[in-house]
């Protein structure tokens, strides 16, 4: 059974992954859109590119994963879990 420290480290990694992906989406919005954030997301969804934007934004997580894996494998597991969850979200967006 895992101790609480392992679970907390995995949750830290998951949080880091979500923040990094959110940061990537923000960067995309800031540099490539002239509308407010909500209109941009609605436009991306209507043009069926929202999944692509999210998946490109999550590429930051892979760099973080390789940096963190040498220091703390549990946090790296959380980042990897975020990548898997992001892939499932993107797949859901593509088929809905």
Torsion sign, CA atoms 16, 22, 26, 28: positive
Is the CB of residue 13 less than 8 Å from the CB of residue 76? yes
C-alpha closest to that of 32 among 45, 41, 22: 41
Query: For every one of its 96 residues, what pLDDT tens digit does the chain have, with 9 covering 90 and above?
Result: 567 899 999 999 999 999 999 999 999 999 988 999 999 999 999 998 999 999 999 999 999 999 999 999 999 999 999 999 999 999 998 887
pTM > 0.95: no
Query: Alpha carbon of 47 to those of 3, 39, 40, 42, 84: distances in Å?
Result: 45, 12, 10, 9, 24
Separation CA 28–CA 20 (nearest Å): 12
């Amino acid at each position: 059974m895992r101790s609480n420290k392992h679970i907390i480290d995995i949750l830290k990694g998951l949080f880091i992954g979500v923040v990094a992906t959110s940061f990537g989406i923000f960067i995309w919005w800031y540099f490539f859109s002239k509308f407010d954030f909500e209109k941009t997301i609605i436009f991306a969804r209507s043009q069926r590119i929202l999944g692509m934007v999210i998946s490109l934004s999550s590429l930051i997580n892979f760099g973080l994963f390789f940096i963190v894996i040498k220091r703390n494998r549990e946090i790296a597991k959380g980042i990897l879990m975020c990548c898997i969850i992001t892939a499932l979200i993107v797949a859901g967006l593509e088929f809905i």
